[in-house]
Structure 1
Amino acid sequence: MPARVPGRAGRWSPGGILTYPSDRLYREVGYLAYHLHWSLDDLLDLEHPERLRFVDEVARINTRREQGV
């Protein structure tokens, strides 16, 4: 039986697992695999915030390269 949330009479705890959209995960992993040549296992072992940080860094490098900096 789900636990009640303290102070919220009649409401149940939301609980459950939140999922990350699989299409977005594929885009991120594909982008990093293309640019970093890391294995799928290595990329999937990254925690979400860490993977996003790598995506941002690779994008920043690509932008600077395109601008000739």
Structure 2
Amino acid sequence: MAIGSGIFLIALGAIMAFALNESVDAVDLQLVGIILMIAGAVGIIISLLVNRQRSNTTHREVKEQHVDERRRDIDG
């Protein structure tokens, strides 16, 4: 889940929890909104942790250099 998806879930959950005045039988929209906000926050935290681990890697570059001994004998 990317950071954008987490923000979307938080916004959708806040709308459902605080802005809706409608009621649906057998579904508590405020509870669903709170669950969506928690899921969005958890998604953002997991996404940040994964990105932190990905950027914490080290890279090593190996360069090989070949010296032509025959060319050195001709010049020197």
TM tier, smaller: 0.3 to 0.5
Q: Which structure shows the higher helix fraction?
A: 2
Give the TM-score normalised by the residue count of structure 2. 0.33
Give the TM-score normalised by the residue count of structure 1. 0.36
Bigger relative contact order (CA 8 A; separation at least 6): 2
